[in-house]
Amino acid sequence: MNEYLKRVIDDVKAKHGHEAEFIQTVEEVFTSLDPVIEKHPEYEKVDLLNRMVEPERMFTFRVTWMDDNGYWHTNRGWRCQFNGAIGPYKGGLRFQSNVRTSIIKFLGFEQTFKNSLTGLPIGGAKGGSDFDPAGKSDAEIMRFCQAFMTALYRYIGPDIDVPAGDMGVGGREIGYLYGQYRRLKGKWENGVLTGKGLSYGGSLIRPEATGYGAIYYLCEVLKHENDTIEGKTIATSGYGNVAWGIMKKAAQLGAKVTYFSGPDGYVHDPDGVVTEEKLNYILEMRATDPMHCKPYADKFGCEFVPNAKPWGVKDVDICMPAAMQNDVNMDSAKKIVDAGVKYYLEVANMPTTNEALNFLREQEGVIVGPSKAVNAGGVGVSALEMSQNSERLVWTEEEVDNYLGKMMKNIHDSSAKAAEEYGLGYDLVAGANIAGFLKVAEAMLEQGCF
């Protein structure tokens, strides 16, 4: 490995020893850059890599809120404005009890390269809180969101930093967050957040965009392999917005999701989640119970396997983990390979441990699509939402969907081309890292050192 690169990775490990997820993502991205750094000795002179692993700005804040019984609670809030070289900071907010500095930093780092890959002018950011939304009443969620925005509003704006949703933050939370922002600013600035409701400036297709985009990306991979999506079966994990978008677009294009999971286990529906009734039930189940997917199996009379993940099931063509980080470890990866699955597309952010990811990439006949490319349609449509807001107009569903399809093709093609140019063949993981990196690197260098 290039010496400068190796030194930076070692330094990150030494300096950020307690931030496991952050180290994991830096190692994954930077290892791919080896041939690039080797070819560009000028990067070392300006210490570009060390600059890239240090967020431009990151802060924590106190969020206090009152529950329905009149008791006060204190949570931690974070915002990490990782890299603003190519556009205003952009990235979601995650509300989950396990949120900590390492999680926010890994997500912000990934977001920087992902946003670059969309081809749109958005920098990388992430934020969130260790607040656990499970079991909270609507009024409690509202008070928490208002308190969170009260602490954050001074530091964001349509041309500064534009948060959106991530796990635990959906349309309802974005609505409460925007309401509070507007109250505090006394101004109509709805471009400050994306993932908004349609009544106040949200974009059509935004809720579906990550899942739809993942399927469009899959179509490009299949095209490359002289294959088609017709009749393919898919195993996914999760049943939130993202998995739902995958199910819906797969059904539209003649494929079917036959396995999905929740924290309680997985469901096997051999007919696929393809009918409107089933797709609507997924939404309903998610809204009422984010912890259990068994009710789907009960309602539609299919198999439910408790406390297990669908990795290694024998009767699928494609695996698309869409739930959370490090969902697929070495053990699961081996089972996936043994089951003869040819396409492994990451959809959640960093759903595969580095060891498992490298193992899958080494397998002859297995094609791996990396999350920062496969799931980039979500933030890509967020950028379209920002642009609709600043122009004060509304795109049709068809316009957004068409743009999304083209964007995903572009992300696939530019990743494939970058890997090819550096002699790596059809390596979509390295290609996405290289293509995402080069644009940010160029912007940083052209703007001088700071």
Pairing of strands 123-129, 72-83: antiparallel
Q: What contacts 202, CB < 8 A, 6 or more positions away? A: 171, 194, 195, 196, 385
At closest approach, how far in Å is the CB of 125 from ligand GLU? Answer: 8
Token code pair at residue 42? 């000028």
Interacting residues with ligand GLU (CB under 6 A): 90-92, 164, 166, 194, 349, 378-379, 382
CA-to-CA dists, residue 387 to 111, 352, 405, angstroms? 19, 33, 18
Residues noted as catalytic: 126
108 or 312: CB nearest ligand GLU: 108
Q: Nearest to ligand GLU by Cβ — which residue?
A: 92
At closest approach, how far in Å is the CB of 416 from ligand GLU? Answer: 21
Q: What contacts 156, CB < 8 A, 6 or more positions away? A: 79, 162, 163, 181, 192
Residue 318, SS3 per DSSP: strand
At closest approach, how far in Å is the CB of 382 from ligand GLU? Answer: 3
90 or 232: CB nearest ligand GLU: 90
Spell out a b/e string for 186-210, using b for 16 or more CB atoms within 10 Å of the CB, else e: eeebbbbbbbbeeeebbbbbbbbbb
Within 10 angstroms of residue 346's Cβ, the number of other Cβ atoms is 26
Sign of CA dihedral 110, 113, 115, 118: negative
Within 10 angstroms of residue 161's Cβ, the number of other Cβ atoms is 22
Distance CA 351, CA 63 (A): 29
117 or 222: CB nearest ligand GLU: 117
- Please name the residue that has the structure tokens 């063509």: 317
Distance CA 192, CA 46 (A): 33
126 or 248: CB nearest ligand GLU: 126
155 or 281: CB nearest ligand GLU: 155
At closest approach, how far in Å is the CB of 192 from ligand GLU? Answer: 12
The DSSP result for 120-151, as a single string, is SS-EEEEEEES---TT--HHHHHHHHHHHHHH
What is the chain's length?
450
106 or 144: CB nearest ligand GLU: 106
Distance CA 78, CA 94 (A): 10
At closest approach, how far in Å is the CB of 384 from ligand GLU? Answer: 10
At closest approach, how far in Å is the CB of 230 from ligand GLU? Answer: 29
85 or 164: CB nearest ligand GLU: 164
At closest approach, how far in Å is the CB of 194 from ligand GLU? Answer: 5
Residue 372, SS3 per DSSP: helix
Cα dihedral 223, 228, 232, 234 in deg (nearest 10): 20
Q: How far is CA 176 from the centre of its chain?
A: 22
Return the HEC string of 242-289: HHHHHHHHHHHCCCEEEEEEECCEEEECCCCCCCHHHHHHHHHHHHHC
Distance CA 221, CA 229 (A): 10
96 or 194: CB nearest ligand GLU: 194
C-beta separation of 22 from 106 below 8 A: yes
Distance CA 238, CA 265 (A): 10
